[in-house]
Amino acid sequence: MRHHVHPETGVTRRGLAQAGHPVAILAIAALCGALLLTALGFGSSLAADRASTQPQGVLAIPGVDVAITKTVTSAQVEPGARITFTLDFANLGDSPAGTVVVTDILPAGLTNLSIQASGNVSTYAAGPPNWVWQFPGLASEESDVIVIGATISPGVVRGTVLTNTAQISAVGDVDSGNNQSAVTITVLDLPIVGLTATSDSPTLLGGTTNFTASVTSGTSVAYA
């Protein structure tokens, strides 16, 4: 910076820029331009446009949005097998949900049920076929889980497809597209865990012999 002394008053003042260094002059010009834009009402809109282009975090959905997802430990099981269903549900909205009702429609062919629910369950109604849990509410982005254990009845016919559906509801829910979830289970043949065979011995070439087979824990055996 260059200092100038007024020849009459003796007051010292600082120069804005030296020759060949217009930085200060440009800064003053930019400041004046910004003040002019603000005075004309454009400053706030520019700031808003700039803010809208900034990366934002994942925001909760406006309102109440309860959702549920059901999973199962295995989609292919044998009669007598033990399986576990898991119901994960939550309020994805930014507003608290009031009374929340979760319904699980268990198919026939399941026995020895065991049920555990997290959260504050105010009402529980046992089926069959509908099991219903009522929760006093879910805060924004709060989640809970229900776990159901069951055994495939030994009498279920092989090839049977069992469908298990879970539903959730709440007053004011803004999205019904995520209020239901289902899984399917296919019942397989029991494996042959024991096979013994005997025949008339000795057997002569070209002769006839009797063959006897015993099968345990199986369904059908083909002879060739």
Select the more confidently predicted residue: 64 or 56: 64
CA separation, residue 108 to residues 74, 94, 127, 131 (Å)? 17, 38, 11, 13
**pLDDT for 202:** 66
At 192-217, the pLDDT tens digits run: 555 666 666 666 666 676 667 666 55
Looking at the fold, whether 20 and 74 belong to one and the same domain comes out as: no
In this structure, what are the phi and psi dihedrals at residue 80, rounded to the nearest 5 degrees? 90, -10
Residue owning tokens 């055996």? 221
DSSP 43: H
Q: What is the extent of the structural domain holding 35?
A: 3-52
Most confidently modeled of 30-44, 126-140, 159-173? 159-173
Mean pLDDT lowest among 47-61, 154-168, 176-190: 47-61
Looking at the fold, whether 43 and 85 belong to one and the same domain comes out as: no
Looking at the fold, whether 42 and 145 belong to one and the same domain comes out as: no
Mean pLDDT lowest among 44-48, 178-182, 186-190: 44-48
Q: Is residue 150 in a domain?
A: yes
Kindly report the CATH number assigned to the domain that includes residue 112. Answer: 2.60.40.1530
Select the more confidently predicted residue: 54 or 173: 173
Q: Is residue 142 in a domain?
A: yes
Mean pLDDT lowest among 5-14, 114-123, 206-215: 5-14
If one counts the domains in the chain, the total is 2
Instruction: Determine the Cα–Cα distance for residues 224 and 221; give it in Å rounded to an integer.
Output: 10
Looking at the fold, whether 183 and 72 belong to one and the same domain comes out as: yes
Does the predicted model carry a pTM greater than 0.85? no
Up-side HSE of residue 77: CA atoms within 13 Å toward CB? Answer: 22
Looking at the fold, whether 15 and 71 belong to one and the same domain comes out as: no
Looking at the fold, whether 30 and 96 belong to one and the same domain comes out as: no
Looking at the fold, whether 149 and 173 belong to one and the same domain comes out as: yes
Report residue 60's pLDDT band, with 50, 70 and 90 as the boundaries: confident
